[in-house]
Structure 1
Amino acid sequence: MNPELALPSLYKASSVPPALAPDFGSSLRRRPTLDTRRSSTISTVQIERIVSEERADTNTYGVSELREGFFDALFLKPPKGPQDDLKDRFEATLPEGWKEKSPLRPRILTKKQWDRLRGIVVELMTTREGVRLLKTFTAFFTAYALCLVPSVHNWLGNYSYIMAVSTILNHPARSFGSQIDGAVLTIVGTGAGLGWGIVGLLLSTSTIAARAGFGGILALFLALFMTTMGWMRSFFLRFYQCVLCAGIAIMCMTLAETNDHSVEWSKVRSYGISWVLGQAIALAVNCLIWPDAGARPLAITFHDFFGITKNALEIPSPRDNGRQRRLAQSYVDLSQAHRDLRLDLTITRFRPDDVEDLRNLMQGVIRALLSMDTETYLVHDTSQTKSAGVIINMPEAPGVNTADFGLSNEESVADLEDVSTMVLHALSKPLREVLDSILEGLDRSDAALMDLSGYRKYIGPPMDISADVGAIQIHLNSTLSALNDAEITVFQSNKLTSRTMQAADIVQLFLFVRHTREAADAVQSLLDKVEDMQQMSGWPRLNFPSYSFWKAIHRANRQTRHDRGGITAGSYHFTFVQIADLLESIKSKEHKPTRTRANTPEPEDGSEGESMPYPIDSHPQTEDPDKADEDGVGRKIWRILRHLQGFEGRYALKVCIVTSLLSVPSYLDGREWWDRYHVWWAVAASWIMIHPRVGGNVQDLFTRSFCAILGAIWAGAAQAAGKGNPYVTGVFSAIFMIPMLYRFVQSSHPRSGLIGCLSFTVVSLSLHNRPEGDSAVTFTIAMGLCFFVGTAVPILVNWVLWPFVARHELRSAMSSMIFFMSIIYRNVVAKYVYFEEGKEPTALDIQKSEQLEGHIREGFLRIRQLLELTRHEIRLRAPFDPLPYSALADACERFFDYLIAVRQAALFYNPGYIRDNPVASEKLLGYRRDAVAAILGNLYILAGALRSQRKVPRYLPNAGAARRKLLLRTIEIEDEIAAQAERIGSFNTRWSDIHSFSFNESLTGCIAQLEELEELAKLIVGEQGFDDDLKEDAVDQLRNNPP
């Protein structure tokens, strides 16, 4: 993406006269005039609502302290915490999954399951989901039927059922490119497992001494291989299918039929050929039955984006958390769809580079919509607005009145009502036309892209919507020109004076116009790109994987992510690691204060700022290359060892422990039962079911175990009903496997479906081909126990060793997010507010900030998903209360929204204009330092309290009081240098006033949200008072020495 595209282009050459279009290259450096004094006064009015004058102006009794160059905090009496009447507001912040009634109630559970069953039937009969299930079952049943044919079984050998297992693990319900990718990976993984097993068997039988330690050598080979596979499975997500199949293959080689202490080459042939045949069947079904070239998921994502954005433009409408969350979800889905397109082989008319541009432009539209306030009456009809009356919000605070602005109360109300009415009459109609043009432009872009994808007939929009984007571009330009003309007319009106620009309602009207223009410009850029793609469209082309290799190895395609399970936990960890990596690249310049007194301590040499506390230790911190070169080999060894301590190493250790302990009976004497009942599948099932992130809760334990046992019982019932008749067995397999394959391939519970499919397939085919004389009942019970043990043991081990507890991860995630907010706040203040001369924010800085903001949006999405996971966890002490955590996440997200508003407003209104006067800048330095440090200090304290589960101190530095001192001091300095101020053009002056209001209001909003964060954090971890330790000591003393 060209960095120049990231500059805020709020005016187009075609929509505003060149003489009136501001130079945004210089607007980033232009200082507003001293007319902004009234903005500072309004800011003090806003801050008074948070910190009253009585609270801030406490009596110091003549005692003062000057901390030269250091943070000077103000401590005020904290407000009362949230009351019970706030419960409704907290509940409004809950994710959708928590708003439903408890799903474990029998009546609700029964009704929910029945409704879900009916929905599944309708979905399978009317959508493409039925085609995916048909393809999966066709491939499985073809392989399963071949395994029932005696001649095929005799030719393939005892492991012919691996052919059916192969079609399950790499089923054809995926795109063509994903199917080829899976076939290659599974065959390579199977070959690696068989090859390593052969090496182990040859080595263990090479000499007499090796034969004496036959079992020990095989155990060592298995442990080393499984530890490596476990580490790769957790670190290289791309190779999930490869390492999974490699683990199953080596278990077959080292644990099955090893009594003769020799290499059974027939076993290698049977296993290998059966696996390759299974992949051939799955690939053939994928290509012959309604093949998916890979463009459909991308088209669905684009179509969903247009639907969500059109719903978000329903204005006026009340502010809705669901609207913001749907936009954030669409933002994440666009990135994921683009990544999936580049990961696999696809056949589509969309070129990957065009899709990348579309993703960036669509995300730009989402960013613009997230900034819009839908609660506005500017788009109402003028007649309705006039009849309803205009309500003006006058600033009300102790010690502030309208006389401060040169107006009496009666004059102010009358003037502001007239101005507001004038603005409504002038801007309402052109603004409504711009919004209508945006909606029509989105509809036509949707139609054009769906036509290009070839799926418009199946997913929409209706055919009566035109795909001509050229005409709507012209109309959108004309409506923007009309809006600009109306805006200029308003600015040139005599009624709109500097005194009337103080009203919050009037400023909000102009801000809404500015945000609407930003959305229009974003949609206009999207229309330009869609028109270019229409002109260059041709035949579908073959797109080879083009994603960066070093990024691709940590990613997987859509269906593999689903089959692997644990999407929420894995996405949460990866997202937060990405955010931490991005924030680690933000380096702040260390400030060493100048000493003016002899007793001021010097900063310690070599002191470093805080480093990024990684919330997830899956990746080491980014090190300074210079320091790494200085330490050489020792530092590299240290980094490797430190990396092995991450969750990948812990997971590899768990895999080694589980597989090694379960395989111990295979190396002991008298193990005929092990081979007779194929008990090695207990080890293989444990390897399949143990997840790198999520171990599973009690519900998962019962569900998966039930599916494993049910599959074995159904296999035994099929054998008993037909006396081994293959036709009866085939009918039983169809009845059982259709719903179980759906559960594995398409439901949100893939692992229980997978173990059910494997249990039935292996048990039924092993029963069918078992040696004569073996009891079918005993065989079924033994193999059912194998799959039950292989299913239950990984869950129990994950409960004991480094368990994944969603509520603990949620608290850690909130701690990390609050710390991220402190880094972002520091970056915004340093780069966009109080930057030094010659270091103005560049287009590249804005682009990086927008990229970071997108990842933060995704982080809040993952937090809400974690919150939903907590509902399924059993807590022994008391039920988990999600309200404080949900409210804390919502407050943190609103804090983040205010930070974005500060950054955007600072591009047009730079509050550091006093920097031009060195004396004034020096006078404000300490006040600015205290205002910024109060917010940063509180965020650091809250993040640390949540991470360590320590109580929050009762008295924290008051950010509102620090900002109030800064604003009052700023007003004094403005008065001192007002006579020396230069004036600039009227048009830019008006917009500077408007953005100064937005800038100051957003900073005040940050302080309000910070106070809410403090209150909610105290609800979660408690409040620490001055005498709490003394009280605890007194209680302990009384207990030890009773009176």
Structure 2
Amino acid sequence: MAALQLGSNAGNGQYREPQVESRHNEDSDDPRTPLLPQYRDHSGRFKEGLSNLARSYGLVGSAVRAGSQLFTKSTIKASITYSVATLATFSQYSNEHLQGASYLFATAVLYFHPARSVGAMVEALLCCIVGLTAGFLIAWGCLHLALYYEEEEKNAMEAHIFALTTLSLVTFILAFIRAKFGVSRPAIGTGCTITHLLTFIVITQMASEKSLLLLSEKIMRVSFALLAGTCVSFLGCCLLWPKTAASVLRRDISSSLSNLSCFFDVLSNTFSLTSPQMTALQFPSDLSKQASSVDLETIESQHERLEMLVEEHQAMLLRMDTLRYEVSFEPTTSMYLHRAKYQAIFESAERLSQHLGGLQSSIVRVDTIITQDADNMALLEFMETMGDSLRQVIVVCKQSLSLIGTLFAAPAQNGQDADIILPALRDLAARLASALDTFDATQRRVLLEIYKHVHEDVFLVFFFVFELLEIGKELIRLVNAVGELKREVLERRRLGKVAWFWRAIHRSDAHDHVPVSQHARARFGRTMTGLQSAPQPRDHGLPRSVSLPATARLQLDSPRTVNCSVRIWTFFSSLKKFEVRFAIKTAVTVALLALPAFLDSTQELFYEYRMHWALSTFVVVMTPSVGGTNAAGLWRILGTIGGALTALVAGILCADNRVALFFVCAVVALPCMFVFLHTKYPKIGQIYLLTFSIIILNDYAGKVDPVTGKDYSIYEIAFRRGFAVVVGCVVGLFVSWYIWPFTARKALRVGLSNTLFDMGLLYSKLVGFFDTVDEPTSHDLLEFLEDELALRMSLAELRVLLGQTVHEPRLRGQFPRSVYAKMIDASAQILDKFVSMRIGVTKRRFAHIRSDFIAPVEPKRRKMIGSMLLYFYILSGALILRYPLPPQLPNARDSRDRLIEAIRALPVIQPRHVGSQEDPIYIYYYMYVLGMDDVIAELEVLGQCCTELFGVMALGDMGDEWRNKWGDRD
């Protein structure tokens, strides 16, 4: 799950590592090793001083800060590793044996850079080996087939067609893999690039009789150089300031918990919960006076701080999700050995994130109402009466998060720390449980008392109360999970790592742990790549409120027989999927670009101008989205121009002086690696250094081309490199724009439509609980949690797509990013409210609610539900059709008001009747109906945004003029 890059970095293997350095490998099995690694950043004060200097002196401070970042460990280790790789060219022995392939040592380091975690580097090495093996087998097989045709003097045209077909098929498979997995796993995309490199070099040169006999040795040299260069990068990653994904993930867990602690710290300082106000005031009138005099700017800044902390926490979870995958390549680390216990911690952190948004929005609303309506006696009395109990819960939550974060960041440095940690965790869980029980009992009593004499205004704090209780319960689970982890670590130390490792393997086979969110991610995670495909059938049951005809139920239960026509239709329908179409257009374009290599009239020009570079550039630039292709093409052209000019200057000033050239390469590598690893424009740094390396190292090698017999100057090499790159970029941009374009704009619109429809299903499922007397089971609640988390992930992906629309300029004008951003925010607010409602209405005793509360108002309830679902349906359909909306959308607000009037007349919710109940279950559903006002308000915002995007149907004859105004395209 953050700062995971979901953009278009797969093509060049660029991976954005967290900018956190590790001093040593903290996963040893020494008995003195604590539960979690200690991390002390000794440079913190120095960095803080630089930041203060930057704030004080403007540009000078910014320059100093940039200079300090230039010499980070990741930049230095990447530059050193690159410099070592260039020795393959500057060394006479290796240059003599590798000939023209020696520059690929440095190229491989740039493809698989060492400034990443050990787990990510192991993954990169495996992808390199797989990619090289596949490319070697394909190239070797095609070469021997061409030699067979040559020796037997068979039809050369047949051999050329076979070679071109093989090239197209291989490109199709690799493009499909890149589109399917390259975005989430950049190393897979880079492995595909390695396969492309081998196949392009070999297959495009097989038509030439001069080069055919030389290709066998060339395949060996190129494969060895790429593999050796990747191994050099692997050694640089492991030997120079190594950092494991496990150690980085532990620190991220600590940072995530610290972020949550800051959230509660800011929460406790919001106006409604400020300690001095609550303790000093004894009467509601005093609080009213304080509310009228409070600084509104301070309140707004606190609210913005809460929102920022929620966003930071969600971004941290995204990054932790990436690191968790990298840990699977580190089997010797403690985190891998205890992955089941860590998985429970990760799931708890994800569930905590579900409630942060609702808690933040609830306290913001309470603050706003108190400051704007000083006479709201219900809220004022509740916040005053519950002040001590409320602050106690928040304090214990902060203490829990601080202690657990400290355990992950800087635990005690001895093997007997369990004598301190385990009792502290048990005491913490007990204090949390006690504080929650006290708070729960107190809030029930206080809410009933206020309800009896103030009535329903008190329901405004219900969502805040429910969210806080759920967060407290989840923190208890988190504390217990950390305690279980500690006990398991102690057991491993007692048994030894080898014995524990073997036992863990057997236990993992018998008790495979499936993450809570895995099911949900597979179901809803279609925003990035599958939005243009047909919606996939869901693998979960339909909501209880959705009824199917009897014939449909029989069809679902009976086995399906598929005839031949349906199979044919299914096959051709699968070709509409985005990944297939992307692979087809990539393969066809590569075949057309490679065609001159098989024609007698253009063979020599294709080889002399190194047009296999154009093929490599094309497949790297061709990202799944138009915006990604635009950005990749622009950065590649700029990086190529800068690298070529730098190489020309260096080649002229340091001609044939390998010592001077080596130091020039090292000096150029440092800023390029900094741009590559630590800026928003990584492709420029990577392509800049890649172009510089290819030109300067090929010029120094100075080998006479065995096919053409020419000794190319540095000017000719730079010109050919630039020409091939420009051709590849231009073709890639043309194909991406005009052949089955996949734009982030369309993906955003369709993804938002899917999300709104899924929210309608979630609401239907929520209200469906009350259509039966059966109480929800734990499985039902778990499925709810999965759906909610999946929707939250979909919204996070939509925000990424919204950022990518910047790279897609339109002739019609600027894309309305602000409108779509408002729609995503409104959808997030609706989801937060649904989470709070689900917590409140899935309590217990559904039979009583159904008979005494819901049945009497069933007609009006059905009308409100229908209006809500129709609202979701219309908005989702409008985003798909892009047609003007009707002048009036469903009047869900009136339906809600009529339902509330009917509920107010029920005897079971009268204050006297509710006050006599030990567990007033009816007011929970009453609160849920009242809370629908916020959902309807957000739906109205969504309706206004759709109206702004697509217009409103006129009451007269509108004709086709609206198409000219709003258009049919994104």
Could you say which residue in structure 2 is the equivalent of 1:409?
none
Deviation at 1:843, TM superposition (A): 0.9
Partner of 2:395: 436
Separation of aligned partners in 1, 2:438 and 2:349: 28
2:667 paired residue number:
735
Alpha-carbon deviation of 1:787?
A: 2.3
CA distance in 2 between counterparts of 1:489 and 1:276 reads: 67
Which residue number corresponds to residue 132 of structure 1?
Answer: 74
For the aligned residue pairs, the C-alpha RMSD in angstroms reads 4.3
The yes-or-no answer on 1:209 pairing with 2:148 is: no
Aligned to 1:585: 540
Does residue 229 (structure 1) correspond to residue 174 (structure 2)? The answer is yes
- Aligned runs of 1:1004-1043 on 2, under 5 Å? 1004-1029=933-958
> Partners in 1 of 2:447 and 2:961 — Cα distance?
68
Q: What is the rounded CA distance, in whole Å, between the counterparts of 2:557 and 2:552 in structure 1?
A: 18
1:776 partnered with 2:714: yes
Residue 826 of structure 1, CA deviation: 0.8
Kindly provide the CA deviation profile for residues 498-557 of structure 1, in whole angstroms up to 9, marking residues without a partner as x.
5225142x44456645543332222222222223323332569698999999999xx9xx
Return the index of the structure with the highest Cα Rg.
Answer: 1
Please tell me the residue identity of whatever aligns with 1:960. Answer: R
The superposition leaves residues 583-636 of structure 1 with CA deviations (integer Å, 9 ceiling, x where unpaired) of 5624146877xxxxxxxxxx9874699xxxxxxxxxxxxx96966x41166545
Q: Pairwise mapping of residues 372-387 of structure 1 onto structure 2 (< 5 A)? A: 372-373=359-360
Q: Deviations over 1:711-754 (max 9, x none)?
A: 22322322222222222322332233322233334444333333
- Answering whether residue 346 of structure 2 is matched by residue 353 of structure 1, we say no
Question: Which of residues 834, 843, 865 in structure 2 aligns to 1:932?
Answer: 865
Cα distance in 2 between the residues matched to 1:494 and 1:113? 56
Q: Secondary structure at the match of 1:957?
A: coil
Q: 1:391: how far off?
A: 3.8
Of the two structures, which has the highest relative contact order with CA contacts closer than 8 Å and spacing of 6 or more?
1
- In structure 2, the residue matched to 1:60 is none
CA distance in 1, matches of 2:873, 2:428: 50
Q: How does 1:267-286 map to 2 (within 5 A)?
A: 267-286=218-237
Cα offset for 1:495? 9.5
Q: Who is 1:220 aligned against?
A: 165
Residues 1026/923 of structure 1: CA separation in 2 closer, same or farther (3 Å cut): farther
Deviation, 1:175, is 2.2
- Cα deviation for residue 697 of structure 1 reads 6.4
Distance in 2, matches of 1:579 and 1:501, equals: 53
User: Which of 790, 815, 839 is equivalent to 1:855?
Assistant: 790
1:651 aligned residue: 582
Deviates more, 1:357-366 or 1:202-211: 202-211
The alignment's TM-score, normalised by the length of structure 1, stands at 0.71
Looking at structure 1, the residues matched to 60 and 586 of structure 2 have their Cα atoms a distance apart, in angstroms, of 38
Identity %: 19
Residue identity opposite 1:881 in structure 2: P
SS in 1 for 2:639: helix
* Cα distance between partner residues in 2 of 1:450 and 1:258: 61
Distance 1:176 1:501, change over 3 A: same
Superposed, 1:649-798 pairs within 5 Å as 649-669=580-600, 671-696=603-628, 700-770=632-702, 771=704, 773-798=711-736
Q: Does 1:296 align with 2:296?
A: no
The 1-side partners of 2:525 and 2:473 are apart by: 36
Change in Cα spacing, 1:688 to 1:836, as seen in structure 2 (3 Å) is: same
Matched, 1:499 2:485: no
What is the deviation of 1:133?
2.1
Distance between the aligned counterparts of 2:350 and 2:92, measured in 1?
58
Q: Distance in 1 between matches of 2:945 and 2:621?
A: 38
Question: Which residue identity is paired with 2:937?
Answer: A
The residue identity in structure 2 corresponding to 1:445 is I
Displacement, 1:454?
9.4
**Gaps in structure 1 of 5+ consecutive residues:** 1-110, 395-415, 456-465, 556-568, 593-602, 610-622, 1036-1043
C-alpha separation in 2, matches of 1:902 and 1:604: 30
Residue 964 (structure 1) aligns with: 897
Q: CA deviation at 1:363?
A: 2.4
Contact 1:365–1:519 (CA under 8 A) maintained in structure 2: yes
Change (3 A) 1:209 1:965: same
Structure 1 position 1006, deviation (Å): 2.0
CA distance in 2, matches of 1:468, 1:339: 29
> Is the alpha carbon distance of 1:626 and 1:190 closer, same or farther for their aligned partners in structure 2, counting shifts above 3 Å?
farther
Cα separation, 1, equivalents of 2:579 and 2:606: 31
Aligned partner (choices 931, 944, 961) of residue 877 of structure 2 = 944
- Quick one: which amino acid aligns to residue 737 of structure 1? A
CA–CA distance in 2 between the matches of 1:607 and 1:216?
A: 51
Q: How far is 1:798 from its partner?
A: 1.0
- Distance in 2 between the 1:453 and 1:807 partners? 51
> Taking structure 1 as reference, are residues 390 and 242 closer, same or farther at Cα in structure 2, changes over 3 Å only?
closer
Rounded Cα–Cα distance in structure 1 between residues aligned with 2:960 and 2:621: 50
Question: Residue 631 of structure 1 corresponds to which residue in structure 2?
Answer: 562
Secondary structure at the residue paired with 1:858? helix
Tell me how far 1:963 sits from its aligned partner: 2.7
> 1:725 and 1:637 mapped to 2: Cα distance?
65
Give, as a single letter, the amino acid of the residue that structure 2 aligns with 1:251: F
Shift of 1:179: 2.0
The answer to whether the 8 Å contact 2:753/2:876 transfers is yes
Residue segments in structure 2 that go unaligned for 5+ positions in a row: 1-56, 271-298, 519-523, 705-709, 965-970
* Partner residue in 1 for 2:831: 896
Change (3 A) 1:135 1:232: same
For 1:778 and 1:244, locate their aligned partners in 2 and report how far apart those are by CA, in whole Å: 25
Output the amino acid matched with 2:68.
Answer: V
**What is the deviation of 1:853?**
1.0
Q: Could you tell me how far 1:999 is from its partner in structure 2?
A: 1.3
1:904 CA displacement: 1.4
Over 3 Å counting, the alpha-carbon distance change for 1:389 and 1:191 in structure 2 is closer
Residue 353 (structure 2) aligned to one of 340, 358, 366: 366
TM-score (norm 2): 0.76
- What amino acid sits opposite 1:283 in the alignment? F
- CA shift in 2, pair 1:795/1:570, >3 Å: farther
What's the secondary structure of 2:771's corresponding residue? coil
The equivalent of 2:776 in structure 1 is: 841
Q: Displacement, 1:493?
A: 8.3
User: Where is the helix percentage greater, Structure 1 or Structure 2?
Assistant: 2
Q: How far 1:877 moved relative to its partner? A: 2.2
What is the CA distance between 1:178 and its match in structure 2? 2.5
Structure 1 residues 777 and 1016: alpha-carbon distance in aligned structure 2, compared to 1, 3 A threshold: closer
Q: CA deviation at 1:1031?
A: 9.7
Output the CA distance in 1 between the equivalents of 2:238 and 2:447: 72
- Helix, strand or coil: the match of 1:157? helix
Aligned partners of 2:436, 2:512: CA distance in 1, in Å? 48
Q: Cα offset for 1:707?
A: 0.8
CA contact (8 A) 2:143 2:216 kept: no
Other-structure match for 2:296: none
Whether the 8 Å CA contact 1:698–1:874 is kept in 2: the answer is no
Are the equivalent residues in 2 in contact too, given 1:379–1:432 (CA < 8 A)? no
Deviation at 1:673, TM superposition (A): 4.3
Q: What displacement does 1:245 show?
A: 1.1
Contact 1:448 1:534 in 2 (8 A): no
Conserved 8 A contact 2:198-2:219 = no
> Does structure 2 retain, via aligned residues, the 8 Å contact 1:430–1:479?
no
2:799 pairs with 1:864: yes
Matches within 5 A, 1:177-256: 177-205=119-147, 206=149, 207-237=152-182, 239-256=188-205
